A = this chain, B = another copy of it.
Amino acid sequence: MYKELNPPSRILMGPGPSDVHPRVLKAMAMPLVGHLDPSFLQIMNETMELIRMVFETKNELTLSMSGTGSAGMETVFVNILEPGDKVIIGVNGLFGERMTDVAERCGAEVIRVEAPWGEIIQPEQIKAALEKHAGVKAVAVVHAETSTGALQPLFEISRLVHEHDALFIVDAVTSLGGIKVGIDENEVDACYSGTQKCLSAPPGLSPVTFSKRAQEALAKRTSKVQSWYLDLSMLQNYWGQERFYHHTAPISMNYALREALRLVAEEGLEQTWERHWKFGKALQAGLEAMGLSLHVAEEYRLPQLTSVRIPEGIDEAAVRKQLLEQFGIEIGGGLGALKGKVWRIGLMGYSCQPRNVLLFLSALAQVLEQHGYKTSSNESCAAMLETIYG
Contact with B along A225-253 (1 / 0, CB 8 A): 11111000000000000000111111111
Indicate if the CB atoms of B10 and A251 lie closer than 8 Å. Answer: no
Give the CA-CA distance A262 to B20 in the complex, in Å.
Answer: 25
Indicate if the CB atoms of B29 and A29 lie closer than 8 Å. Answer: yes
Binds B, one of A62-70, A176-184, A268-276, A291-299: A62-70
Contacts of A105 in B (CB 8 A): 224-228
Indicate if the CB atoms of B8 and A32 lie closer than 8 Å. Answer: no
Binds B, one of A34-42, A118-126, A127-135, A303-311: A34-42
Is there a chain B Cβ closer than 8 Å to A265's Cβ?
yes
Is there a chain B Cβ closer than 8 Å to A17's Cβ?
yes
Dominant secondary structure at the A interface: loop
Contact with B along A7-33 (1 / 0, CB 8 A): 111101010110110000111111111
Give the CA-CA distance A19 to B19 in the complex, in Å.
Answer: 28
Contacts of A229 in B (CB 8 A): 67, 70-71, 74
CB contact under 8 A between A102 and B194, given known A5-B259, A262-B2: no
A79-110 residues with Cβ-Cβ distance < 8 A to B are 98, 101-102, 104-106
Is there a chain B Cβ closer than 8 Å to A203's Cβ?
yes
Give the CA-CA distance A355 to B167 in the complex, in Å.
Answer: 56
Give the CA-CA distance A7 to B40 in the complex, in Å.
Answer: 8
Partner of A66, one of B25, B34, B43, B68: B68
Give the CA-CA distance A19 to B34 in the complex, in Å.
Answer: 9
Give the CA-CA distance A20 to B28 in the complex, in Å.
Answer: 12
Question: How many of chain A's residues have a CB under 8 angstroms from any CB in B?
Answer: 73
Taking the full assembly, how many copies of this chain does it contain? 2
Indicate if the CB atoms of B252 and A204 lie closer than 8 Å. Answer: yes
Indicate if the CB atoms of B259 and A39 lie closer than 8 Å. Answer: no
Give the CA-CA distance A227 to B107 in the complex, in Å.
Answer: 11
Is there a chain B Cβ closer than 8 Å to A267's Cβ?
no
Indicate if the CB atoms of B69 and A247 lie closer than 8 Å. Answer: yes
CB contact under 8 A between A250 and B68, given known A17-B34, A265-B2: yes
CB contact under 8 A between A253 and B255, given known A37-B10, A105-B228: no
A290-336 residues with Cβ-Cβ distance < 8 A to B are 324, 330, 335
Indicate if the CB atoms of A33 and B8 lie closer than 8 Å. Answer: yes
Give the CA-CA distance A324 to B40 in the complex, in Å.
Answer: 13
In angstroms, how far is the closest chain B Cβ from the Cβ of A239? Answer: 15
Is there a chain B Cβ closer than 8 Å to A207's Cβ?
no
The residue among A7, A26, A37 with the most chain B CB atoms within 10 A of its own CB is A7
A45-86 residues with Cβ-Cβ distance < 8 A to B are 46, 50, 66-71, 73-74
Contacts of A196 in B (CB 8 A): 248
Is there a chain B Cβ closer than 8 Å to A202's Cβ?
yes
Q: Supply 5 further A-B pairs (C-beta < 8 A) apart from A10-B34, A202-B251.
A: A7-B33, A7-B43, A10-B32, A67-B67, A203-B250
Which residues of A are at the interface with B, using a C-beta cutoff of 8 A? 1-2, 5, 7-10, 12, 14, 16-17, 19-20, 25-35, 37, 39-40, 43, 46, 50, 66-71, 73-74, 98, 101-102, 104-106, 194, 196, 202-204, 224-229, 245-253, 255-256, 258-259, 262, 265, 324, 330, 335
